Amino acid sequence: MSDASAADSVNPQVDADFRAPWPGVAALAVISVLFGLWSITGAVLTRFPELLVPSAIGLPFGIPALRLFPLGETTTINWLVDCAAALVMLAVVWMRLVNSARRHPGGGVGRAFSAGLGATVIGVLAGNLIRTVYLSFVLQEGPGAYLASLVGGALVSVLWGAIVGLFVGAANALARRITRGAAAPESGNDLPTENESSIAETATARP
């Protein structure tokens, strides 16, 4: 076992940080479910019809949505593609947040927030890429239109990922703050204070 692995196995802070991705991924999963509820998305689209412009030109709307069954008259294949895209999105965010916790076990709240934001942007990009490719086959796009769909889908995904990433980053930052706050008293009890160390050295130095 390497020194880094041994240190990780005995460092409670590292183990605590590995649990941090759960709140961020859970927040993203909830938002994904909300995107799949027509009672919510329909009301938003009615108030802001401009959000339908990307869908009108063959680009995916929002982020991949998790649904228990197809919405309205959409096909089963379309529903399965959306669910697969949502699962890919969640998996990408989970892996990136865990990797961030491994690389920066002592990172602060700001790093946790930026990690959640960046992971969400990448996750939405990955999930919407699946939807974009599927829509291009459905619409039977040519090479030029397909390339335009990829570029447009990427731009839309970055925008939605940044918006949703604010909530995911906040959840991840809150989890990091709570985890660090809980670990601080425990680690503080294991180390002598500066005064205790000075007293011990003075007592040892006396004949």
* DSSP line for 30-58: HHHHHHT-HHHHHHHHHH-GGGGHHHHTT
pLDDT digits (tens, 9 = 90+) for 9-23: 444 444 444 455 889
Share of the chain above pLDDT 90, in %: 44
Question: Cα torsion at 162, 164, 165, 171 (round to 10°)?
Answer: 160
Q: How far is CA 106 from CA 10, 19, 65, 103, 115, in A?
A: 14, 14, 33, 9, 13
CA 150 to chain centre: 22
pLDDT at 126 over 70: yes
pLDDT at 201 over 50: no
The length of the chain in residues reads 207
Please state, rounded to an integer, the average pLDDT across all residues of the chain: 81
Supply the pLDDT for residue 165: 96
Are 173 and 113 within 8 A, CB to CB?
yes
Average pLDDT (85-109) is 92
CB count within 10 Å of CB 96 equals 20
Q: pLDDT band at 138, cuts 50/70/90? A: confident
Q: pLDDT band at 185, cuts 50/70/90? A: low
| Position 156, amino acid | V
Q: What are the backbone angles phi and psi of residue 134, rounded to the nearest 5°?
A: -65, -45
Q: Is 94 exposed, middle or buried (0-12, 13-18, 19+ CB in 10 A)?
A: middle
What global pTM score does this model have?
Answer: 0.78
Nearest CA to 80 out of 89, 70, 88 is that of 70
